[in-house]
Amino acid sequence: MRPVAIVAAGMTRFGELWQSSLRDLFVEAASEALANARASRLDAIFVGNMAAGQFVGQEHLGPLCADHLGMAGVAATRIESACASGGAALRAAFAEVASGMSDLVLAAGVEKMTDGAEATAVLATAADQEAEGYQGITFPGLYAMIARAHMAAHGTTEQDLAAVTVKNHRHGALNEKAQFGRTVELAEVMTSTMVADPLRLLHCSPVSDGACAVLLCPLDQARKYTDRPVKIRGSGMATSSMALADRKDPAWLDAVHESAVRAYAMAGVEPRDIQVAEVHDCFSIAEICCIEALGLVERGLGARAAPSGETALGGRIPVNTSGGLKAKGHPVGATGIAQAIEIFEQLRGDAGKRQVKGARIGLCQNMGGSGASSVVHILERA
Ligand code: COA
């Protein structure tokens, strides 16, 4: 395998972007990435997208995106793994460059969720339809069951869940691309509208539009495009049972754990080497479970991390410095690339008020469904 670097990134603002179509969003993010690298050609494009067919009636995104970028003719494929589509697109691009198949590859992600489709129903198609969907369960409901399981097993409280939201909104308020640029207080979270007990409105990531793109090439060619490349040191992907009821312990995300074990092994690093992490906080409980499964905190102790300040900017291991899915927004197919961009900027020292001082190694983890798929990447300043 050839060592691979990320050399440039582009990203739209996240939010309800009614003035832009799906293709507009993709072109904005991809053009910015190409311009930042002063690149005018590509060998391949991978577009992460969960459900454009259901959200906006558009399938066949590979050629659509290449065409509207002015690059019809380039190899282009859509990659789908529900909310982990962006992470899976990054992994496909990494493999394409590492294998020697291509030299300059765009890994992108895009989702347009606010054009009128019934978002909750569309998202629910990423659950097991026969075991879960047909019974009427939605994602807030599935994660509420994970939260109840975690509370029963580890004594996690509603206050612990709320502390994750408060932290991520505090980080998001420092991110001009975030959907919610405001801080929230603990009491506001704990009295917000109940969505699926114990998860309230302010425990949920929002419904969002947005697109992101990063440019990958072999590490030994990276200086053509930037003086500060970031190396992809490890990539791991894993799956678990689709249905939550089939897991031995619903509070333990085994696909997240296994994808991390694989990424750490490829990178030759341990959880204690990670200095900044973006993890999949689609609901506040998800961040708690993910940091445990990634080994960033001990199993069962995830709920203590946000209240103690351990995962805040300035803490032992800052998590979701971008604001996470909660505050930055969650255009599902774009999220995995947005996470990689936050770590890319952190490792280059470009994260402004969100900068983790001296960060050299970072991790991003992107999850599909209720944890049925997970992708982890470990990045290092080159
Ligand atoms: N966090 C903070 N504020 C939110 C929010 C969220 N998650 N979702 C909506 N809001 C705000 C809106 O900005 C709006 O504020 P305004 O009145 O000041 O404009 C207000 O709450 C009402 O918004 P609305 O769009 O009517 O909310 P909703 O009730 O339709 O949706 C949720 C709220 C929580 C149900 C929706 O955001 C949701 O389904 N989130 C989960 C998405 C999901 O499952 N993703 C996949 C994960 S696996």
The pair of three-digit structure tokens given for residue 252, joined into one six-digit string: 């333990």
Cβ within 8 Å of residue 361, ≥6 positions away: 233, 269, 273, 274, 275, 347, 378, 379, 380, 381
pLDDT band at 230 (very low <50, low <70, confident <90, very high): very high
Over residues 299-320, the pLDDT tens digits come to: 999 999 999 999 999 999 999 9
pTM of the entire predicted model: 0.98
Q: What pLDDT is recorded for position 144?
A: 98
> Is residue 376 a contact partner of residue 340, using CB atoms and an 8 Å limit?
no
Per-residue pLDDT, 249: 97
CATH topology identical between 4-118+207-224 and 128-205+233-381: yes
Say how many Å lie between the CA of residue 266 and the centre of ligand 1: 38
pLDDT (0 to 100) of residue 31? 98
* Probe residue for ligand 1, chosen from 182, 204, 367 as the CB with the greatest number of ligand atoms within 8 Å: 204
Residues sharing a CB contact under 8 Å with residue 310, sequence separation 6 or more, in sequence order? 297, 304, 316, 317
User: What pLDDT does residue 371 have?
Assistant: 98
Does ligand 1 have an atom closer than 6 angstroms to the CB of 143? no
Question: b vs e for 290-328, b when ≥16 Cβ sit within 10 Å of the residue's Cβ?
Answer: bbbbbbbbeeeebbbbbbeebbbbeeebbbbbbbbbbbb
In this predicted model, what pLDDT tens digit does every residue of 312-356 receive, in sequence order? Answer: 999 999 999 999 999 999 999 999 999 999 999 999 999 999 999
Q: Tell me, in angstroms, the distance from the centre of ligand 1 to residue 63's CA.
A: 32
**What superfamily does domain 128-205+233-381 belong to in CATH?**
Thiolase/Chalcone synthase (3.40.47.10)
Q: For the segment 289-301, what is each residue's pLDDT rounded down to a tens digit?
A: 999 999 999 999 9
Q: What is the pLDDT of residue 209?
A: 98
Is 327's C-beta closer than 6 angstroms to any atom of ligand 1? Answer: no
Q: What is the mean pLDDT of the chain?
A: 98
Residues that are catalytic: 83, 330
**Residue minimizing CA distance to atom 3 of ligand 1:** 202
**Model confidence at 24, in pLDDT bands (50, 70, 90)?**
very high
Atom of ligand 1 nearest to the CA of 202: 1
Q: How far is the CA of 205 from the centre of ligand 1 (A)?
A: 7
Q: Is 52 in the pocket of ligand 1 (CB under 6 A)?
A: no
C-alpha of residue 174 to centroid of ligand 1, in Å: 20
Q: Identify the pLDDT of residue 78.
A: 98
Kind of pairing, strands 209-218 and 361-368?
Answer: unpaired
Give the residue, by CA position, lying nearest to ligand 1 atom 1: 202
The verdict on domain 4-118+207-224 having CATH code 3.60.15.10 is no
As a whole number, mean pLDDT of residues 227-234 equals: 98
As given in the structure block, the two tokens for residue 326 are 């909660």
pLDDT of residue 318: 99
Whose C-alpha lies nearest to ligand 1, atom 47? 282
Q: Is 127 in the pocket of ligand 1 (CB under 6 A)?
A: no
Give the pLDDT mean for 141-162: 98
Q: What would the pLDDT profile of 55-86 be if each residue is shown by its tens digit? A: 999 999 999 999 999 999 999 999 999 999 99
Q: 């936050």: which residue's tokens? A: 342
Is 330 near ligand 1, meaning CB less than 6 Å away?
Answer: yes
Chain-centre distance for alpha carbon 136: 26
Query: What does the pLDDT read at residue 96?
Result: 98
CA of 283 to the centre of ligand 1 (A): 12
The SS3 assignment for 167 reads helix
Compute the distance from residue 201 Cα to the ligand 1 centre, in Å: 6
pLDDT in tens, 96-149: 999 999 999 999 999 999 999 999 999 999 999 999 999 999 999 999 999 999
| Percent of the residues in the chain that have a pLDDT greater than 90, as a whole number | 100
Q: Output the residue whose Cα is nearest ligand 1's atom 39.
A: 120
- Domain map of the chain by residue range? 4-118+207-224, 128-205+233-381
Ligand 1 near 168 CB (within 6 A):
no
| Helical residues (DSSP H) of the chain, grouped into ranges | 22-36, 52-55, 61-68, 85-98, 119-124, 139-154, 158-172, 186-190, 254-267, 284-293, 302-308, 324-328, 335-348
330 residue type, one letter: H
Give the pLDDT score at 206.
98
CB distance 205 to ligand 1 below 6 Å: yes
As given in the structure block, the two tokens for residue 191 are: 């009295």
pLDDT at 75: 98
State the pLDDT at residue 360: 98
| Number of the ligand 1 atom closest to the C-alpha atom of 119 | 39
